[in-house]
Chain A
Amino acid sequence: MGDVDSGSGTARGADGESARVLLYLIISDPSTLDRLMTVLLDLGIGGATVIESKGMAAIIREEMPIFSGLGALLPERTGSRVVFSATTNERAEQLFAVLDDEFSQRQRPIAFTVPIVGWVGLRG
């Protein structure tokens, strides 16, 4: 989990900065989100987008409610969140280190990066 492919870290942007990557975080415990936002801001990772999501297992389970049909009709209170943000490779690696050290296994989100080859509209 979380090891950035070293190949994507070697290319440098035009201004010599560390390469840009798209950071993905899949948080299965929504209560972790608050703390994670603080961590992202501390590391200078801003402009993240957060979307509400539902896991495949939850969908499959809810397609066949056995006892909990009424509960499945409630607005989702226990679902997951996906956070993504364009940031630098360095910051992403700092984030992975923090997630490893300071988040328990249960709270730790799935986190990975993919290289951004080209972009428009990103600032900073």
Chain B
Amino acid sequence: MRRGYLTGLLLALVLGVVYVASLIGARASVINSGSTTASVGLLLLGGWMFGRIVSVFGLPKISGYLVFGVFVGPGVLGLIQKADLPQLQLINDLAISMIALVAGGEIKLAMVRRSWKAIVSVTLLQTVAVFVGVGLAAWLLLPVVIETMPAEMSWRVALLFGVISAASSPAAVVAVLAELRAHGRMAQLALSSAVCKDLVVVSMFTIVLALVAIPESGAGSGSHEGLVSLLVGELGMSVVVGVVVGLGLSRFVRKLEDQLPIIVVLACVGIGVLGRAAGLEPLLVALVAGLVMENMYPERSDPIFETLEELSLPVYCVFFAVAGAKIDLGDLGSVWMAAVGLVVLRAGLLWASVGVGARIGGESGASARWLWTAFVPQAGVSLALVSIATQVFDTAAGAEVFTLFLASIAMHELLGPILFSTGLTRAGERDSGMRLKTGPDRG
């Protein structure tokens, strides 16, 4: 507890220094690039400190990073300017690649072969259940909640609501597992299913977007055949490139061991470059690369994963804090009841469908009971889908729909990691030992 107080005091000092600096700067009308750098520093140092404070109360640190981001973001203290957030996009993309590499490295093909039934049934059942359940509820209730919504819009919005609600956050899963050093059955299933589900949802979203496209909006339009081939091509190429990247990294790691931090960052940034230039899916590329390294060259790839573990904490701090900074509490204020209803409905559907899916897959016990908590968190992927979806509805009702989307995602972002952390603890998988440990088990 004493450490918690000390950390709190340090955090207050840091916030005080930043606040005074911004006052002095504003008085002197200083306009320069210091704002972005200061924001990164504040999110790193302050986010780290706040994460430690919340961990004293048994909460996961990433919730601390998220809440800190909300606190210092434009919506509350305003120490992070809105204009700085797009500048931090680079770190976001770097983070996604790193998280996906780590996630891929956690997936053991042997485990997947043994548990493929459970993974498939959990993934598909929950995706369908949430899509249909939330979609149906949205179709029935949204016209009541949002009075300005035209009738022809409601089924479109319902479909989008359904698919976006089906999305989860593999990033949050990886971050919580790393923090709690969880490596048991539930952890493995959660990670594999979260990653598979991400791919399924992204594919579904593309199809739904094509179905709901309003021609004038320009979003999501295109022939269905072209869409499918694009999807297959994109995903297929991403897998191929991922294999190449994974093989390349494993091959050259021994020669470049002294420069691994630069190599790892370069690889992650490079994956982001490829994603944008060639229209690939960076998450999938990195995931497959991690999978290949871990399953084909486990010994050789250990230094890469160790380096990733060292580099991941600062990246997580900024990534999740930025996600928090983007949350506008004003959004929550106006639609909080509807958002709470959505959260409860989604949680209930997840609990039911994941439970059934796990039983079909032959899982039982505490890990099967609490597995559903892994799919509650929502973050970057969901936000990206929302920003695409809102291009479809450029109306007042659309703005309200957008607000509701954001509010529900914000709640899932804040509450999800806490719930998942509780689930892991109840399943007895906390501190069951992450793979990235050097020492006795390496012989």
A and B directly contacting (CB within 8 A): yes
Task: List the B residue with the shortest CB-CB distance to A57.
Answer: B258
A101 touches B440 (CB 8 A): yes
Q: Which A64-103 residues sit within 8 Å CB-CB of chain B?
A: 100-101
Tell me how far the C-beta of B324 lies from the nearest C-beta in chain A, rounded to whole angstroms: 30
Residues from chain B with a CB closer than 8 A to the CB of A105 are: 306, 438
Q: How far is the CB of B302 from chain A (nearest CB, A)?
A: 12
CB neighbours of B440 from chain A (8 A): 100-101
Size class of the contact patch on chain A: under 10
Question: Interface digits, A1-17 against B, CB 8 Å rule (1 contact, 0 not)?
Answer: 00100000000000000
- Please measure, in the bound complex, the distance between the C-alpha atom of A100 and the C-alpha atom of B438, giving whole angstroms: 8
B316-334 contacts to A (CB < 8 Å)? none
Q: C-beta contact mask, A103-115 vs B, less than 8 Å → 1, else 0?
A: 0010000000000
The listed residue with most A CB atoms (<10 A of its CB), out of B438, B439, B443, is B439
Specify which chain B residues have a CB less than 8 angstroms from the CB of A3 in the assembled complex.
443
CB-CB under 8 A from A101, the residues of chain B are 439-440
Residue of A nearest to B440 (CB): A100
The residue on B at minimum CB distance from A97 is B440
CA gap between A105 and B443 in the complex, in Å = 15
A3, A100, A101 — most chain B CB neighbours (10 Å): A100
Residue of B nearest to A103 (CB): B439
B330 CB to nearest A CB, Å = 44
Mark each residue of chain B from 421 to 443: 1 if its CB lies under 8 Å from any CB of chain A, else 0.
00000000000000000111001
Complex CA distance for A101 and B439, rounded to whole angstroms? 7
**Shortest Cβ distance from residue B270 to the other chain A in the assembled complex, whole angstroms:** 26
Least CB distance from B8 to A in Å reads 26
Q: Separation in Å of the A6 CB from the closest CB of chain B?
A: 14
A107–B443 Cα distance when bound, in Å, is 19
CB of A61, distance to nearest CB on chain B (Å): 13
List the A side residues contacting B443 at CB < 8 Å.
Answer: 3
Residue-wise, chain B 282-310 has the 8 Å CB interface mask toward A (1 for contact) of 00000000000000000000000010000
**Closest A residue by C-beta to B437:** A105
In angstroms, Cα B439 to Cα A100, docked, is: 5
A123 to chain B, nearest CB (A): 33
CA of A3 to CA of B438, assembled, Å: 14
Q: How far does the alpha carbon of A3 sit from the alpha carbon of B440 in the complex, in Å?
A: 12
Q: How far is the CA of A52 from the CA of B306 in the complex (A)?
A: 29
Chain B: CB-nearest residue to A102: B439
A100: B residues at CB distance < 8 A: 439-440
Closest 7 CB pairs of A and B: A100-B439, A105-B438, A100-B440, A101-B440, A101-B439, A105-B306, A3-B443
Interface residues of B (CB under 8 A from A): 306, 438-440, 443
Can you pick out 6 interface pairs between chain A and chain B where the beta carbons lie within 8 Å of each other?
A100-B439, A100-B440, A101-B439, A101-B440, A105-B306, A105-B438
